[in-house]
Amino acid sequence: MEAVRSTFAEVVRRAGEFFMGKSPIQVASARITGALARKKIPFAVAGALAANAHGHVRTTEDVALLLTADGLARFKKEWLGRGWVEQFEGSRGLRDTTHGVRIDVRIAGEFPGDGKPKPVRFPDPASSSELDANGVPILTLSALITLKLASGLTAPHRPRDLDDVIQLIRVNGLPLGYGDQLDPYVRGKFREMWHAAQIRDES
């Protein structure tokens, strides 16, 4: 029998910290977004933290950011060895050494999901984000949903992306027609996820 990695108490504690906004993930996110903003490096919060900002509250184990290749290079030149290191030599991913949190960086112009060419690319962060109440750029809901659908279509090992879309549809009360504003590549998958979102588990 395999050993359980964490005790139930540890899991509850980490989840409680997250939902109170005091987890290492959230502190590390505030730290790196503050550093990016001070150097005027364009970025947008992506992934699960962006989903949280759009109403789908769930825990995560990393901070996902969208940057340009130039922006990542500028950040590394300024901050590597000063609280952040590369996940491995030459990687785009980073690690917050103060809080031990992984920072996953997505690069504008590259492809979501399996990384192979497709009609949907990671967009420029400056043109695909909006500011939250604290002035932090967050991927717009349409950009977030588009990327998660493109990922779910091509990366079967990432089923959470499609579940995120279902939950975002529910919590935001999105109509079926919302898919018309998305890239044609993902519209069919949006309709599929929309119909799935209408099915509620019996309580």
CATH number at residue 176: 3.30.460
Residue 164 phi/psi, 5° resolution? -60, -40
Q: Closest by alpha carbon to 98, among 87, 86, 83?
A: 83
Which helix or strand (DSSP H or E) is residue 162 part of? Answer: helix 159-172
Please indicate, yes or no, if residue 128 is contained in any of the structural domains: yes
What is the count of structural domains for the chain?
1
Q: How much is the pLDDT for 143?
A: 98
Domain contains 150:
yes
202 located within any domain = no
In a domain, 101, yes or no: yes
Q: Cβ-count burial of 129 within 10 angstroms (0-12 exposed, 13-18 middle, 19+ buried)?
A: buried
Q: Tell me whether residue 1 is in a domain.
A: no
Give the model's pLDDT for residue 3: 52
Question: Model pTM?
Answer: 0.89
Residue 3 within a domain: no
Whether 2 maps to a domain, the answer reads no
pLDDT at 7: 63
Range of the domain at 120: 8-197
Give, in order, the Cα–Cα distances in Å from 87 to each of 94, 114, 160, 167, 168: 5, 20, 23, 30, 30
pLDDT by position in tens, the chain (length 203)? 455 455 655 654 655 566 566 788 889 999 999 999 999 999 999 999 999 999 998 888 899 999 999 999 999 999 999 999 999 999 999 999 999 999 999 999 999 999 999 999 999 999 999 999 889 999 999 999 999 999 999 998 899 999 999 999 999 999 999 999 999 999 999 999 999 999 987 65
Query: What's the confidence (pLDDT) of residue 200?
Result: 83
Residue 162 inside a domain? The answer is yes
